[in-house]
Amino acid sequence: MKAAILYGKEQVRVEDVEPAPLKAGEVRVRIEAALTCGTDLKVFKRGYHARMIVPPAVFGHEFAGVIAEAKSPDWRVGDRVVAANSVPCGACFHCGAGQENLCDDLLFLNGAYAESIVVPARIVEKNLLRLKPETDFRDAALVEPLACVVQGIEDAAPRAGQHVLVLGAGPIGLMFVALARHRGCDVTVAGRGAQRLATAQRLGAARVVDVSSRQDLVNTLQTQAKSAFDVVIEAVGQPGVWEAAVRLVRKGGTVNFFGGCPAGAQVSLDTGLIHYSNLTLRASFHHTPRTIRRALEIIEAGVVHARDFVDGECPLTQLPELFQAMAAGNRAVKTLIRVHE
């Protein structure tokens, strides 16, 4: 089969590889939809991910498809499925405390940029989900990133009528817009790119602010804001934006530092502001089996659609060139990889 192999920093080659034989409890999924992701771009630019993938390896982790072979009694050939990109162990301290996203032994799955993928037995048991007959594979492939956003929105806990500021208009920021609007919140988005900001409006953002040429993010947003922000979501992953988020939330408000900053990054926060404004600062990471299931429920209820996030297509054979373009600043939201061409 054809698969995209990550060899190192900005080194990806599409090659013919021999499909791995199945072990007990595993299934093989013929991939019907695979999507690009910001995390995959980081892996491409860095050449590895200490916890997720060590090259050489097939990479990509957002996919949905049909079971082509099964060595699990619970699954049959032809079942339409989506799989999470990881699964907790269920036995460590954090799993016992209901914090499976912090599991000491998360098992990760990569290999979406290929014609098929073998799903390990632990994921088959805990994080492989059946799709409704009418669920589009492109929609289902959004389950993993949406599950992370579900985790983030539940941590921030915005309520109907509250004013939410989303910093960042990438795929994650746009998903926050969709979920905050679904909760009945008034949403403002600050980001870059006319197409992404137009998508934010289509998803229900009451206001969008293009910060492409703005030097003072805080002053710009405070000037244009309708009212103080009850909740601020940082979905950029830059230290300066983390700092701005704390200055933009109202007294007694909540900030969620969702965007992960580069390794070793540090921020400077005003302790007096945090203390005397009684701020709640949260940081959300990854997903749990429950939020994976909740994400699929949201998708199958029609709250989130691939059409709002997937704005391009690319054959698997051209994936290396696509990631080079993404690394150079391609403003696409998400791209569907056609793995069977």
310 vs 138: CA distance, rounded Å? 8
Tokens of 117: 């993928």
> Which pLDDT value is given to residue 51?
84
166 vs 338: CA distance, rounded Å? 31
Q: What is the pLDDT of residues 85-122, one digit of tens each?
A: 999 999 999 999 999 999 999 999 999 999 999 999 99
Residues 14 and 109 in one domain: yes
Q: What is the pLDDT of residues 135-170, one digit of tens each?
A: 999 999 999 999 999 999 999 999 999 999 999 999
Single pTM value for the model: 0.96
Q: Domain for residue 300, yes or no?
A: no
Q: Domain for residue 294, yes or no?
A: no
181 vs 204: CA distance, rounded Å? 6
Mean pLDDT, residues 202-213: 94
Question: Which positions ≥6 away from 271 have C-beta within 8 Å?
Answer: none
Q: Is it the case that residue 226 has pLDDT exceeding 80?
A: no
* Count of alpha carbons within 13 angstroms of residue 203, beta-carbon side: 35
Residues 15 and 134 in one domain: yes
Q: Domain for residue 103, yes or no?
A: yes
Q: Of 241, 267, 282, which marks where a domain is finished?
A: 282
Structural domain boundaries enclosing 156: 148-282
> Which pLDDT value is given to residue 152?
98
Element (H, E) at 119: strand 116-119
Q: What is the pLDDT of residues 17-75, one digit of tens each?
A: 999 999 999 999 999 999 999 999 999 999 988 789 999 999 999 999 999 999 999 99
3-state SS assignment for residue 222: helix
Residues 269 and 155 in one domain: yes
Residues 214 and 240 in one domain: yes
> In terms of C-beta density within 10 A (0-12 exposed, 13-18 middle, 19 or more buried), how is residue 155 classed?
middle
Indicate which CATH number applies to the domain containing 40.
Answer: 3.90.180.10
